[in-house]
Structure 1
Amino acid sequence: MDFTYTEQTLPRAVAWLFESNGYSVTEDVSVQDVVFPLLAKQMAGLVEQKVFIEVTIDHVNMVKHEGLIAKLVLARRQVLGSQQVLVSSGGFTDEARDHARMEGILVYTFQELFRQFERTDPYIEHVLGDGDFAESLRDLDEVYEEPDFDDDRGVHRATEWLTHWVGDETEPSRWVVVVGEYGTGKTALTRVLQRRWMSDYREGRLTRLPFRVELRDFSRQFDARGLLHHFLDRNELAHLNISFVESMIANGRVMLILDGYDEMAQFLNVRERRACLEALTELSGDGVRGILTSRPNYFTEAEELQVFEVLYRNLDTRSQIGAAALDKEVLEQEQQVDRMLEQFVIQRAERQLRDLSPEQTIHLVKKRLGDDPAGEKAVTGILSRVFRPESTREYSLGGKPVIVSYLLDVVEELKRDEASGSGGKLTEWQIYELIINKLMLRDWARVKNLPPSDRLEFLRHLAVRLSSESRRSIREAAFRELIEERFPGHLAKQRATGTADAADALFDDLRSSSTLTRSREPGEYAWQFSHNSLREYLALTFLVSEHQSGRSLPRQIQLTDAMLTFSRSMPKDVLEGSLAQLAMGWPNRSYSKSLDRILTLLWPALLQNAPATEDKRDILARIVGPGLDISKSRLSQVDFSADARPSDLHRLSASETELSGVSFRAARIERSNFSDSIFEACNLSQAVADGASFKRALIMDCDITGLRCAEADFTALDRDSTAVVKTSRGAQIITGEHLIGYLRAQGAVTDDVNPYYVFATNSDFEVIEKICKVLADGAQHQRRGVQQRGAAERNVPLARKFLEYLFGCDYLIVKGGRSEMISATSSGRQACHRLAVEKKVDDTLGRFLEENLGRPRRSAN
């Protein structure tokens, strides 16, 4: 951040600092004909506090600046009870500081003055002091094994790269998105950075105060102020004025660390996620820097672009109000959106956090179990068996910090298991099953109140409860209610024997389960799973068990990428039993609304176990029958693409279907029926959809780049539909008539649409549009400049041909007998204005566009 000030900017910066903290500031105030640059006023109880402020960019010494101090002494004597402040961006000599203090005058550099208002010491103590939270961060930092970024930017130690980035004010990337699978240590990384950067801030090595916000706490849509209030309330900063905090962020005083975007996004629909992203852009002022962590595939380009499309559209709406006074403000706001788009999307850095290497994993185990050789052997023995099948190769899962952490938690149980270092490979499903079984046995050894199977069943229901209610934790009242619901017989028997506190005993036992950890909700304690992946695994096994038993499942559970990853490693006997139950029940799915959720869950396992050459049509037919009828279902994250194997899904019956995150990339879906369906964040790029029906469909943020849709029916397409099209010049969001025009240009049958939007899909249309914009002003122009410069440079022959056409239809004339000077006629000026400004094409220009850019395809009428 640049802290260099001029004689003009320093007074404004000081005034902003006081105003953002509740003062009213007046400039150039006179006291006995002596002018003070600033007077700040604020009510303090029943008395108005007045602060006279003198500012200078010079280095203050007694020889040159004694007069400044004399001025402030005059104000102190003339205005009783007032305070006097001297602010210098250049600093002070010791003599000047001492003299001012003797006179009762406060002296600050701008940074020192800023610190007076920040009042962040309670937060710093919260992170670095002696409390429970600070102790947990300190313990983590002591055993932290440094992970690596490994991506197109190279291999770098994650904490080192990020620390260099945050300290380099010349770095163009203002945001870093850290992506990584479940369990790679994204949260641990942000917690370690919070502690280390806070220490750097306290010692003056870092100018930005780290604000770490856990986005997973938000299972509902939020706005920017709601997010900040949440952070301030939980981090000993509730005393700060929210406007001042927003100013701190905008002026580069804060480093935002936003952890767990995916854990928030999984509970939100696309519109809610878009609103949350828009709230994040509100925090993206010119000086802001931020880190955002997420699992892959939750932070989508389509949603980002749509956010900025909305911001630009809001500016357009304001500019159309007709108030000329708004023009300058709208222009400034548009420039601000441009800067946010560049910082938040175009110039942001994305880094991939990888699992620990085998060497890093062994080092972590040794660091934790260096004095326990038997435990070290047991844990490394298990880790050597952990693998993930993917296509035809295997690679270790042992480097996932979350798995290592769990194994370290059950090291005593592993030491008692003689087979811990032997046997075959372990998949993700099996390693979590092993860990959970060990944790259940530990709880059983601690107190033999509940058999391990009963405890496990309760925890599965708890996982489903939290997933269904989009909550991270459960409070005591709800916890007790679930106990009463799950153990009525046990409690009745205990009460019958005179045990009055049976429910309390069961509550005390279950809340102490090794899989749970305590968290503090506002005003009371709550309990959550020690890692999100544990909740996801338990919820998944509950769903599979209930399905195999023929029971309906809760439809509101959001299926996450981790659950689908666990499903991919599902044991073969579990898969076959689930598949048989699904195929048997699918024809009657209208009576069992949860079967589509099971199809989503089983699909990764089916793809994993099928021969690589088998078409996805045949795999799908095993479940839904040869007619490929998936109508009136709801599918999420299903991969129907042809990327890894053939995918011929022609005549797919998918009417009235909700598809979220489904990929049809390069798939053949000709003559399929998607009428009345909803597509949310789906991938239709390069798909072949000739003759398919999308009648009355709603398309939300879907990639349709290269979609083949000749004679496909898109009539009555929902006008709120949005799509992404990628070209060599970048990605573009298209909606409304632009989308219908694009589909019409690809050969689809659509509702009637202004021909402008059809022609506009051709990259050469910009040449015509820019020429019309030039000619619409009615002025004289050099012919050579019009047909060879600006946008015309992209296709000079087309530009020359267009001008000749305009001459031929009397839309263009030579001015003043000089052949190189041209001007539009009255009718030509009107036609050019309609095309360039009103986005309408008259018949005369339409004929040229049809002949040279292609004829608009037919509509439904």
Structure 2
Amino acid sequence: MTPFTVTFYSYKGGVGRSLLAANIGVLCARRGKTLLWDLDIEAPGLHNIPGLTPSKPVKEGFFEWMIAWQESGKASNKADFGKLLKLACQTPEQDRLFILPAYGDNKDFAGLFQSIRWDDFLVRDLDIGLALFRGILDAFGKAGFETVLLDSRTGITDIGGLLAALLPHATVLVGNYGRQNTRGLAHVWQALHSASEGRIAARGTLPRLTRLLVASPIPDISDLRAQGQEIWKESFGLTLSELDTIPFDSRLLFTEELYAATRPETPVAKAYNDLERRIDKVRQQVIAESESARRSDDARPDLVVRRNKDRHEQGKSFEERVAHLLRLLGYSVEREQLIDSNRVDLVARKRADFGREELYLVECKDHQSVIPKETVQIFKTWLDGPTASQMQARGMVVAARDFSPAARSFAREQGIQALTFDELERSLFDFSPYLARIRQRYEASALASNYVDQYLILEKQPDEKTVLMLPHALEWVSGAGSRLWLVLGDYGTGKSTLVERFAYELARNCENNSESPIPVEINLRQFPNAISLESLIREHLEAELRTVLNPEIVLHLLEAGRVVLLLDSFDEMGVAQAGRSVEEQFRQLVRPTASSGRNPRANRVLITSRSHFFRDNSSARQAVQGGDKLFEADSALGKAARAFDATLDMLPVFTKEQIAEYLQKRLGIVEGDQARRFIEERYGLQDIASTPQLLDMIVASLPDLIKQGEKVTTGSLYLTYTTRWLNTIRLSQGEVNVEHMRDLLERMACELWSRPRNQIHYTDLAVLLHHEGGLARSLDSERVDLELRTASFLVRSADGYYRFSHRSFLEFFFARALFRALQEGHFAEVLTYGRINPEATAFLLDLTESAQQSSDKLTEAIRTILADTSEFIVRGLASRERARSTGEYSDAQAVVEHLQKMLLAEKKKRS
């Protein structure tokens, strides 16, 4: 997976090329994980720019790694790349900006440079150099880097040609207005013309090279500037609109300050931004073209096969495929060796217990017919040879199709492993305990007995109102539709239920059918800081089975169509904590779906998410309501999903029939019908009950309230529901205590009450929390954000804005704030947030009535506060006439009158 790669090149030095690359790196890192790679090999030192200097000393850099690679015989394996990845250092200016230094601190970089035999792989055997650098770029891509910026050597050099012409998607050519510099740069511009036309075969599958011109740094001296522009027009034959100009700033001669981060309003920083926008347009075009090409390949697999045969004969041989499986099983594999004059296909070794070594001679039989007994007998004579016997080698025969019964019987008698390729593949990992956990967890849950058939609204069948979820999901996993399937819905519509039920059904199928795909079911909420798909799979299986599994096994089985990934709650991943953009996180998770794999069932990934991550809010509402514009508008993340040819289907809320069915299954016929009538008769409950998660919470709350002998009101129901989240559902080790979190929710409601969109950014949450003392200043917005993500009555948008999931929750928490204001004597202050609507008033009346009914448990002090507060409100309203004329405090006055009546009744009762 090659990241988007940009080379910064200059014909001569002194034009601010490295500083330009550094500032573009700062800007790119705001979008996604970015690497600055110092390849100015004769004048390196990019990591000495103050804003890029890592906080820890740099022990080694690219030069030291190259020397080790060279001394190892140019064996550029994964271990080499892994070591290089560790040399990338995080910069202090931007969490997602990393730098790969050329050398370690206090090292003799000139001596290191001279120790590397550059000509060996840049002149004598360019293929080795290309493979090396492309391998490095792919390794960084797999590590999550979206963009790699290469700071190139100046002049006409071998490595300059490699970096400017063969590796990047775009090359930025930087020069000044000097005639010598400009004409030299124009010569390089012309030399790159073939690459820009797509006529350089060594670029491989890369698209045409994009060339960008930058003049830097240019002083604002009008007459001389005009002369310099004429030189550019003469040398390049281009209009000046195709030239980006970086203005001169004398401070940069002394400070090398990263203006993109520190002085964004300066002309220099604005010029950097303009260039970065042009680069990003190229990036977007590259992504779109690559995905379009992939979709075309998927539509014509016959052309792809033919093209692949031309490129690399017939792709991986059968022996290579078997060797790959053995490596996944932990063996080191050597190809084709002559042992006792017999040419053995593979030799596989693995360390066993107590220092012993398992050694297998492996024969690979890519025959379409079954393997006869005679083939195994001949192989047995090889194992009995003197060299093989001395090696204490065991035997393994792997067949493409099958063995005859006689061949299997003979192999068993002689201790020879006789396996088909499919059998060897299935032996990679025993998923039986994992599947048993999925079945047992589901069958032990309340969901098993209360499950109500779910429906889907399919974007490719907009005329059909709904289809049953489970049959459609089973068709999808069998190879129908797009490999990437997104099921979207508003909060609590049952997305997790869908995943659990689907996983259970697949796990049951695996009991009786070994070919049924294995569900790997992961709730992304539990792994907020997983930085890659590999780490996510590893952490999940380790948590489930207490064992460490190579995630490459799962990804291989996914490509083979033997595993399906079910990823729930994408919207609840901790992207802020992991330091990754939402789009970057998404691309990491779904990248296998970009490949068609071995069969139609291959690389199938299901992701569930709240709708607003992939749709704008209006589209999400229309989808639930069944409007004509069901699947019209995608968000930015939705467009990223389309690049992977995703299908985005909707999970609607419950119908009245589904609500009734659930209540009967949960409570029985009689009590279920009573609960249904109760819900229909209370404000807002019918609407809320259509959301399965809230329906479950309503049902869970009602019996407790009724059992306690309380009069059940809408306010008391909401109080029970939200209190349950505050006390039990939040993070078990939450840093914000219950009272402060309740205070935050009430303050949020007050803040959002008068805002047009009723939303607030998560970075403003800590300010609300710290409104009153008592909290550690170290408690930041990121931590508060992470805790609030578990609240089902809140919705968090992809760009970090919170709103209440339903208007009634906003009204409830605003009423809570009013109620507390009554107790604490600052009711008039809360009224400044705006007029109280009837629904909030109803909540407030419920809350105050509930407190008054339990007055025998209240202290005398609380009664006094209520009395004093009511008198304070009356004084603050000025007059009943003014309140009624403006309409501003009419509902507040109703609250006052209600409180006065209650207090009067309380006084009569006491007297």
- TM-score, normalisation: structure 1: 0.45
Give the helix-richer structure, 1 or 2.
2
- TM-score, normalisation: structure 2: 0.43
Instruction: Return the structure number with greater relative CO, CA threshold 8 A, min gap 6.
Output: 2
